[in-house]
Chain A
Amino acid sequence: MKNSIRLMISAAALLVLAARADARIPLESFTTPQGHAVVLLQDKIQDTVAIAMAFKCGLACDDEKSYAAGFLAPSLTMDGAAGQSGSEIYEDFMDTGGTLNFSANSDETYLSLSAPSSGLDDAVKIANMVLTKPDFPENKLAQKRDRLATSIDENRLDADIKAQLAFIDASVGPSSYDHYFSPKAEDIRQVTTDQMKTWLKRHVATDGVLISVVGNIEKDKAGEVVDKLLAGLPQKSDDTKFPELKFQNPKPEPIVVQGDGGKQVVVNFGIIGKRPEKLEDWLGGSMLAKIFASGQKSRLFAQVREATGQTYGLESDFNFYEQLGMNRVKGRLGTTALDQSLAVMRKAWDQFRVEGPTEAEIKEARFDMFSEFGSVLRDHQQAAERIRDYLTGHWSAEELSRMPEIISGIDLHDKALRERFFTENPITVIVQ
């Protein structure tokens, strides 16, 4: 009997539950004694706990002078704090068995901590120390500045990065998202420790922080560790806002960017748009994108291979930020019969837009969604991060609990849904 109960509450069983339209993911919302809102998923199949947080706003909210510090501050927090050296902190943290990831992207600043239950308190204590009492060592900063600036210079030579920048530029032109997608090496080289401390205070503040906790932990204990993790952080961040993006109509003809002139070109193909407000639209768009171009079973890949054979990799990138969203196919095409391959891609896009997916494709997409969902939920860290990511979409725990029902009920034949993510004029970028 105990085993049965255990199975029922295990995240593994969620896969089975998730396949049922009336199933609910047992997410629980509560507020900690210190007033932080938390979404909790209890799961006892592994004796670990994962905490994922999104501090409101990332590099897209920074101005030209401050964004560069955001590339360095998160990765340097473990290199010195409260008078302890990086080696001491690193050693102590490793002994907890935990992992700590801290980074900034365009829209949010992310913190993700996971640890075995036995090491959780110690891991949280160390994480809090590095967040609240950073001592960024000058020599490490100099090293990291140089390394990062060099890698940014190298990235500018990378054909995939060139394609992505041209793809974004075609639709929105220069924007604050360039801080994230196209940082300047010279800005990185000028960052100081004071700028990093200022950046941390501005971004890592408890106002509006989104928190998920997954694992073998009771609600009271979850509240306690979240409060300990956030203790001493500023309560109010600056009034940070995303600058308004100005979308422009992309040109219909392919944008050609100079590359190395090899026997393959890098291609980016798709649309840029705003993030959907409804969870079902986001999920529906994601499923359509997968049907169209995700993996070797996708119709786009099959059609290009059938027609010219001139590809080994075309992948869907369905990625929506606070304001900027992409339903993009990226990959490589052989230069032989390139025009024909591009024509096949465009025809496949138009056909999908008009005709939509088949019943078999829809069945497969739903299955994949449940399967992926179940797989993610079995890993505490992945699950915490995924729930946190959904929270950044401004969707509530109640809505997220109903995801199995939503996934089962989405009408993927809906023309309006399809036309939203597969517009008439996709952007084509080629780096050759």
Chain B
Amino acid sequence: MFGIRLSLVLVALFWLVLPLKAETRILFIGIESAGSFEVRMWVPFGSVSDVAPGTAHLMEHLKFKSSQEKGLQNIQAIPGSSENAETGYNYTRFDIGVTSENLKDALLALNGVSQPLSVTPQQLATEKVIVTQELLQRTTSDPDSPKLLSALLELYKGTEFERRPSGTEDSINAIKMEDVMAFDAAHYANADKFLMIAGPPIPPEVQKQILAMFPGAVSGNIHVNQDRVATRDDAQLVPLGPFLKSPVATGFADERITHDFSSNHVKLAKLYFTKLVEGPTSWNNGVAARILQEAVRSRLPEGLRDHIADDAGLVQDFGVEIAPLASGVWQLNFSAGLSPGIEPDKVVKVFEDYMADFAKNGISLTSLERLKRRHFLYGEWEDAEQELKNLGIETTTFGYANSMNGRDDIKAVTQDEIQKLLTLFAGPGRVGISVLKPEGAQ
């Protein structure tokens, strides 16, 4: 008991002496035809900041319960509002959807996350139960997910990714009031914030008023063309992701980690192949990776589908994903359902041979141009990259370039850039291979 009191006193002292140097950056995304606002706010810490595993995620929940006058707990009462949140390794994100007249309330609530947490022991206990239910729900939705997750975490060993962002049932149960208060003081109290406000264009004078709510804030603007699809969901097309430093995940040894699991929930064996390689990640090669992913997936001459069906037999529902895991680290995922009698090792070999051949031969100019042309059919975002750079936001990490499909960025992708990525993936890296077999199958 004395320990709790002492912690609370220390937390209070911490608040009093804390220098207020938090930075806020605001990106206004003006969408001509939007009817409401989607506000997203990232703070640059997540589960890698946990001392007690699961604290960052629990904090994300508790911020919606904290009893400030103008806090997130008030959002639910606003008609037509919606709210959501997500805790990642190195960020926590809060989303609020509101109409124009309630934009101010949304911004006040988001700014309020830096106010000291104020929850009762009962609220903490209840939220721990709910967070545990959230954890369990993922398991019951896919009973095999814990096995596959454990294999993936082993692949990440030695890096900040090796710990589950949401903690475990036991670790959540063990979190105490002093843990959350300490986390609050250490991170939320003086949190840098990045806000993205997507909705109808906001006049300059109103933007000034918004900036005044966040002393010292800097802002930028992106205008979305009228002829582009412009909905409230547009905001969700902009996964700016971690806007400060990504976790540094390097030192992946060139090794293979294999797992064979059995499951009574599948009738068809499933293969999961993951390869981690270290290499430069940038805005442009993010777009290039997107195009390469489509080339690998599609039925273009270089495409995998027919190749693997011919060489490895019947493989079903395969998927390929190529994306940065963090700055400087790429992750290549390949998954497939295996028909009876098809050996996983053979499919892995065919896939790796295919990637090696692709790296050796490269992508033809015709195929690259065809893939680019398809991407042109989607919308464009003008000046987005420059605006984000002006705001000091790192655009070299995951998510952003993958989704933006800017016309100029796509045009800029060259055979050489694709080749560099192919060479990277054909080279050394840490490979994880997990096979999930129906129970009783050989």
Given A90-B299, A154-B266, A374-B35, decide whether A47 and B133 contact each other with a Cβ distance below 8 A: no
Which of B35, B127, B299, B339 has the most chain A CB atoms inside 10 A of its CB?
A: B35
Give the distance in Å from the alpha carbon of A309 to the alpha carbon of B126 in the complex: 6
Does any Cβ of A come within 8 Å of B90's Cβ? no
Contact check, A143 vs B299: say whether CB atoms are below 8 A apart.
Answer: no
The answer on a CB contact under 8 Å between B314 and A143 is yes
Interface-lining segment among B103-111, B136-144, B271-279, B389-397: B136-144
B372 within 8 Å of A by Cβ? no
Contact of B373 with A46 in the complex, beta carbons under 8 Å: no
Nearest neighbor of A47 in chain B, beta-carbon distance: B227
A235 within 8 A of B: no
Q: Is A415's beta carbon under 8 Å from chain B?
A: no
Is B80 a contact partner of A147 (Cβ separation < 8 A)? no
Q: Let me know if A237 is at the binding interface, CB within 8 A.
A: no
Given A297-B76, A371-B80, A378-B230, is A15 in contact with B35 using a C-beta cutoff of 8 Å?
yes
Interchain CA distance A177-B292 in the complex, whole Å? 43
Query: Is the CB–CB distance between B268 and A262 below 8 Å?
Result: no
A345 within 8 A of B: no
A260 an interface residue at 8 Å Cβ cutoff?
Answer: yes
B231 touches A (CB below 8 Å): yes
- Is B33 a contact of A147 with CB atoms below 8 Å? no
Distance of A154 Cα from B230 Cα, bound (Å): 39
| B385 CB, min distance to chain A CBs, angstroms | 24
Contact A334 B231 (CB under 8 A): no
B265–A157 touching, CB < 8 Å: yes
Pick from B140, B267, B268, B317: contact of A264, CB below 8 A: B140
**A12 to chain B: which residues have CB within 8 Å?**
33-35, 230
**Are B129 and A310 interface neighbours, CB within 8 A?**
yes
Q: Known: A95-B373, A309-B133. Contact between A46 and B229, CB under 8 A?
A: yes
**Do B374 and A309 touch across chains, with their CB atoms under 8 A apart?**
no
The interface residues of chain B lying within 8 Å CB-to-CB of A154 are 265-268
A368 and B33 in contact, given A47-B227, A262-B136 (Cβ under 8 angstroms): no
Contact of A157 among B79, B126, B264, B337 (CB under 8 A): B264
| Chain B residues near A260 (CB-CB < 8 A) | 140, 143
Q: How far is the CA of A375 from the CA of B232 in the complex (A)?
A: 7
Q: Flag whether A305 is at the interface (Cβ < 8 A).
A: yes
**Nearest-CB residue, chain B, relative to A148:** B316
Contact of B80 among A116, A311, A367, A379 (CB under 8 A): A367
Whole-angstrom distance between the Cβ of A49 and the nearest chain B Cβ: 13
Q: Are A150 and B227 in contact (CB under 8 A)?
A: no
Instruction: Using known A-B contacts A154-B265, A262-B143, A378-B231, determine if residue A332 contacts B299 with beta carbons closer than 8 Å.
Output: no
Pick from B127, B267, B316, B337: contact of A153, CB under 8 Å: B267
The interface residues of chain A lying within 8 Å CB-to-CB of B136 are: 262-264, 312, 332, 334
Output the nearest chain B residue to A334 by Cβ-Cβ distance. B133
- In the assembled complex, B12 has its CB within 8 A of some CB on chain A: no
Which B residue's beta carbon lies closest to that of A376? B231
Is B230 within 8 A of A45, CB to CB? yes
Asked if A175 lies at the interface with its beta carbon under 8 angstroms from chain B, I say no
The answer to whether A146 and B314 have CB atoms under 8 Å apart is yes
Asked if A109 lies at the interface with its beta carbon under 8 angstroms from chain B, I say no
A309 contacts B267, CB within 8 Å?
Answer: no
| Any B CB within 8 A of the CB of A343 | no
Distance, CA A115 to CA B267, complexed state (A)? 38
A116 surroundings in chain B (CB, below 8 A) = 377
B267-299 interface (Cβ within 8 A of A) = 267-268, 298-299
Query: Roughly how many angstroms separate A276 CA and B120 CA in the complex, as a whole number?
Result: 47
Verify A46–B76 contact, CB threshold 8 A.
Answer: no
List chain B residues, Cβ under 8 A from A226: none
State the Cβ distance, B149 to closest chain A Cβ, in Å.
Answer: 16
Shortest CB-to-CB span from B252 to chain A, Å, is 33
Chain A residues, CB < 8 A from B377: 97, 116, 119
Inter-chain contact B374/A94, CB cutoff 8 Å: yes
Is residue A364 contacting chain B, with contact meaning CB distance below 8 A? yes
Q: Which of A10, A13, A119, A312 contacts B137 (CB 8 A)?
A: A312
What is the CA–CA distance of A7 and B104 in the complex, to the nearest angstrom?
A: 26
Any B CB within 8 A of the CB of A82 = no
Bound form: Cα–Cα A377–B267 in Å: 41
Of all chain A residues, the one with the shortest Cβ separation from B371 is A94
A87 within 8 A of B: yes
Within 123-181 of B, Cβ neighbours of A (below 8 Å) are at: 126-127, 129-130, 132-134, 136-137, 139-140, 143
Complex CA gap A260/B439 in Å reads: 15
User: Which partner residue on chain B sits nearest A158 by CB separation?
Assistant: B265
Q: Is the CB of B126 within 8 A of A143?
A: no
B266 near A10 with CB under 8 A, answer: no
Chain A residues with CB under 8 Å of B337's CB are: 147, 150
Tell me whether A143 and B33 are in contact in the complex, defined as CB-CB below 8 angstroms, given that A94-B374, A116-B377 are known contacts.
Answer: no
Q: B237-279: contact bitstring with A at CB < 8 Å (1 yes, 0 no)? A: 0000000000000000000000000001111100000000000
Q: Which of A74-98 contact B (CB under 8 A)?
A: 87, 90-91, 94-95, 97
Task: Report B69-103 residues with CB < 8 Å from chain A CB.
Answer: 76, 79-80, 82-83
Indicate if A266 sits at the interface (CB-CB under 8 A): yes
In Å, the complex CA distance between A364 and B78 comes to 9
Binding site for A on B (CB under 8 A): 33-36, 76, 79-80, 82-83, 126-127, 129-130, 132-134, 136-137, 139-140, 143, 226-233, 264-268, 298-300, 306, 314, 316-317, 337, 339, 370, 373-374, 377
A residues adjacent to B (C-beta < 8 A): 7, 10, 12-13, 15-16, 45-47, 87, 90-91, 94-95, 97, 116, 119, 143, 146-147, 150-151, 153-154, 157-159, 260, 262-264, 266, 295-297, 305, 308-313, 332, 334, 360, 363-364, 367-368, 371, 374-375, 378-379
In the A-B complex, the 7 residue pairs with the smallest Cβ-Cβ separation, listed nearest first, are A12-B33, A309-B129, A97-B377, A367-B80, A312-B134, A312-B133, A15-B35
For the complex with contacts A15-B35, A90-B299, A95-B373, 17 further pairs of A-B residues with Cβ separation under 8 Å are: A12-B34, A13-B33, A46-B228, A97-B374, A147-B316, A154-B266, A159-B140, A260-B143, A263-B136, A305-B126, A309-B127, A312-B137, A334-B132, A360-B79, A363-B79, A367-B80, A378-B229
Question: What are 30 of the A-B contact pairs (CB < 8 Å)?
Answer: A12-B230, A45-B226, A45-B230, A47-B227, A87-B306, A91-B300, A119-B377, A150-B337, A154-B266, A157-B264, A157-B265, A262-B136, A262-B139, A262-B143, A264-B133, A266-B140, A296-B76, A297-B76, A308-B129, A309-B127, A309-B130, A309-B133, A311-B130, A363-B79, A364-B79, A368-B80, A371-B80, A375-B232, A375-B233, A378-B229
